[in-house]
Structure 1
Amino acid sequence: MPFRPSENVQSLADAIRPALGLGAAEAPPPGDLQFVVERHRVTFLLHHALQVSGSSNEQLLSDLTGIVQGKARQVLRQRAAAACVQALLDDRGIASVEIKGWQLGHILYGEETLRQSRDVDVLLRPDQVAEAIKATAEAGYTNIRGGPLKAGIAQAILRFHREVEVRDPRSGVIVELHSRSLENPPAGWSDATMLEAPLDLSNPHYVLYLILHGAGSNWKRLKWLADLAMIVQRVERDVMDQVLDLARRFQCLPAIAASLRACGAIWGEAFVDEWLAQAEPHMDEKRVQAHLQAFAAALNRESPLSAMELFARRLELMRDPPLFGDKPPSRIGAIGNRTAMWFLRRI
């Protein structure tokens, strides 16, 4: 199997086991706090795991406690920012729902502060996005750099990308306004179930979205794989069956199966076996292996992409395996979108 976590990733994964309900830690975590806090964003989970396991590493606990206190204040600011933007949109009659972020911490871990998040994600109806941008601009929200939020440019960005970032003028929290949940959704995909049904682990479309979000980013952060470990353990059997049926319908079962295998490889647990038993008889093994190779490369990376790699990706010479089906999106279209985004973000 081409997926193998690096020594640093594996030691960090072992250290957070108690926070995932997987028993005692098997190794000390890496000493590089930047690796924990920013690279893989599992600060809260590691701090909680060390407390649960009764770690004797007082220095590490002390260092993490200081960071966690600051991050906890950030969660409070995010909650306040989410409430403000929700009230603003509700007042205009704009349908919206918060996805991922601090709220997902409560769903998966039973405590919102156990999941580290950079921003607030708000999903909107496509036909109401323009009105939402106008509402936030009128309410004093700025662009991500703190400058005036120009509605025309923001709407243009959404022609080429699924989200536009705005900044809450009171808290400084970044709010991402999403016109769709996935960057390149497959034919037949609809966000209606996430806008109209409860967003929790009883909603198969939401569960599939959460897995696809991680797979679409090649699981480059351990945070997302920790989320997957909790999803697999907490989702009921009937919902699991519905999730896998949807994955077959949207031709993304290889990406889902590869994600489950990666999760199982890291934590060496049988909790993914039931999912895999239902998924693996119906998928293309070659596509699974391609995803696993991409996952390993992204998760184990400890330095930024080289100039050559960035150039190759910008020209679509280097591409990730497609999430849906076996053909990636148009190369010309992808280059055009990237060029348009580069231009729009500078004006």
Structure 2
Amino acid sequence: MSSEAMIENPLTKSLADILREKLILGATGSLPPISQEVAIHAGKRHRIAPILYSLLKSGQIEATSASEKFLHDSYRHAGLQAAQQQRVRSRIHNILINAQLHYVELKGRGLAEQLYANPVARFSKDIDILIRKKDSTSALQALSDAGFIAKAKRSRKTNKLARYEMWAAKDTSLYDPDFDQQIELHSRLLQSEPANFSTVFMDSVLDSGTPQTTNPFYVFYLIMHGAHCHWASLKWILDLVLIARTSGVSANDMADLARTYHSLSAVSASVEFIDAVFPNSLPQDWITLARQIETSKSQELLAAFSEMLSGSPREVKQAGYPFADWYMYDGGINYWQAGPRRLIKPFFRFL
């Protein structure tokens, strides 16, 4: 499927072309100056305005005066956010290590540092921390003792309620009042996942902290995270392209993990989708993989990803299959466990 057919929104299509030509392929030649409309779409919808500003300052793209101001302000905010998050990351590391708790930091600043020459360019709104399910109580207690607040929309949560939210929704929000930062504490990687998925991933990351993009399981998780979210953001798609081009993780590794965790449809559709959004940007073995493991469900997922990428922010928050996280898999889901979790999860939005 062509890029034009895959991306219905012209603003998103314009952004995809800019990123492909200038950041991924490093092509020379001029592009039309970025308009204010495109700049705002980049910041509000895809959270990539700081990346565009980085390209602007390096002379790779041009922008109108109004859009340049918006991009500059976005980059400045991203820099302040990154500095505060770095302080909180150090705090979390010390707290959890002193409590003798193994943890993994997902995505965020750690991923930015591996993918971008200027890590500030990749904006992160929060810090995602994965712990083992059995350590939920100890981690919440250690963090709350250090001043982190189990935060709800209208009130504070007790640690007991936070643990229940982690069971139902996979994560719970904590807040660091000293640095005005939000932390998402996860007890598993995904809302619904095959047995032992998070456990095996934790075992693959021997040292607490940020996993490396050379870890096949981490790359596989990032693909499945994108699929669960229907690849709603260009930022996540760009991450995967950069990882595939630089990490050395092979397509065969992805295929083996996809078979083990009943995810052939989701992985095939994801790779095909990324290739359509950024044509000729993925290694050839990844493209070959997508075609080899394609299933009848892959095309359905591909259509869903396309619809989500071009949707409005409101649609992105509300759209999806009634049980989208189940549908990502070809099997391997314990529905007796996943069903109650899915039914209870919306309750926590109203706290």
The TM-score normalised by the length of structure 1 is 0.87
Aligned counterpart, 2:245: 233
Please tell me whether residue 252 in structure 1 is matched to residue 263 in structure 2: yes
Q: 1:88 pairs with 90, 95, 108, which one? A: 95
Note the alpha carbon deviations across 1:8-62, whole angstroms, 9 max, x for none: 1110111223223442465554532432112111112111222334434351223
The 8 Å contact of residues 44 and 115 in structure 1, kept in 2 or not, is answered as yes
Aligned counterpart, 1:62: 69
Aligned counterpart, 1:183: 191
Q: Percent identity?
A: 24
- Residues 220/56 of structure 1: CA separation in 2 closer, same or farther (3 Å cut): closer
- Residues 54/34 of structure 1: CA separation in 2 closer, same or farther (3 Å cut): closer
The 8 Å contact of residues 24 and 281 in structure 2, kept in 1 or not, is answered as no
The alignment's C-alpha RMSD in Å is 2.8
Note the alpha carbon deviations across 1:93-128, whole angstroms, 9 max, x for none: 111121100111111223321211110011111111
Q: Distance in 1 between matches of 2:60 and 2:103?
A: 42
Stretches of 4+ aligned residues off by more than 6 angstroms: none
Aligned counterpart, 2:162: 154
Please tell me whether residue 37 in structure 1 is matched to residue 43 in structure 2: yes
Please, which moves more after superposition, 16-25 or 60-69? 16-25
Q: Distance in 1 between matches of 2:346 and 2:120?
A: 34
Please, which moves more after superposition, 255-264 or 214-223? 255-264
The 8 Å contact of residues 124 and 178 in structure 1, kept in 2 or not, is answered as yes
Q: How does 1:1-16 map to 2 (within 5 A)?
A: 1=1, 4-6=6-8, 7-16=10-19
Please tell me whether residue 324 in structure 1 is matched to residue 332 in structure 2: no
One-letter amino acid of the structure 2 residue matched with residue 262 of structure 1: F
Q: Distance in 1 between matches of 2:313 and 2:74?
A: 23
Q: How does 1:48-197 map to 2 (within 5 A)?
A: 48-59=54-65, 60-144=67-151, 145=153, 147-189=155-197, 190-196=200-206
One-letter amino acid of the structure 2 residue matched with residue 282 of structure 1: I
1:136 shift after superposition: 1.6
Note the alpha carbon deviations across 1:59-114, whole angstroms, 9 max, x for none: 12233112211211011111111111111111111111211001111112233212
Please tell me whether residue 208 in structure 1 is matched to residue 220 in structure 2: yes
Aligned counterpart, 2:235: 223
- Residues 159/51 of structure 1: CA separation in 2 closer, same or farther (3 Å cut): same
Q: Distance in 1 between matches of 2:333 and 2:136?
A: 27
Please, which moves more after superposition, 189-198 or 264-273? 189-198
Please, which moves more after superposition, 93-102 or 272-281? 272-281
Please tell me whether residue 305 in structure 1 is matched to residue 315 in structure 2: yes
What secondary structure is seen at the aligned counterpart in 2 of 1:110?
coil
One-letter amino acid of the structure 2 residue matched with residue 269 of structure 1: N
1:341 shift after superposition: 2.9
One-letter amino acid of the structure 1 residue matched with residue 140 of structure 2: I
Q: Distance in 1 between matches of 2:147 and 2:265?
A: 44
Unaligned runs of 5+ in 2: none
What secondary structure is seen at the aligned counterpart in 1 of 2:312?
coil
One-letter amino acid of the structure 2 residue matched with residue 123 of structure 1: L
One-letter amino acid of the structure 2 residue matched with residue 337 of structure 1: R
Aligned counterpart, 1:296: 306
Please tell me whether residue 278 in structure 1 is matched to residue 282 in structure 2: no
What secondary structure is seen at the aligned counterpart in 2 of 1:271?
coil
Aligned counterpart, 1:342: 346
Paired residues in the alignment total: 339
Q: Distance in 2 between matches of 1:162 and 1:241?
A: 29
Q: Distance in 1 between matches of 2:346 and 2:123?
A: 28
Please, which moves more after superposition, 85-94 or 321-330? 321-330
1:287 shift after superposition: 1.3
- Residues 326/290 of structure 1: CA separation in 2 closer, same or farther (3 Å cut): farther
Aligned counterpart, 2:24: 20
The 8 Å contact of residues 193 and 205 in structure 1, kept in 2 or not, is answered as no
1:149 shift after superposition: 4.1
Q: Distance in 2 between matches of 1:304 and 1:89?
A: 36
1:305 shift after superposition: 3.4
The 8 Å contact of residues 272 and 290 in structure 2, kept in 1 or not, is answered as no
- Residues 203/56 of structure 1: CA separation in 2 closer, same or farther (3 Å cut): closer
Q: Distance in 2 between matches of 1:112 and 1:194?
A: 25
One-letter amino acid of the structure 2 residue matched with residue 124 of structure 1: I
The 8 Å contact of residues 251 and 324 in structure 1, kept in 2 or not, is answered as yes
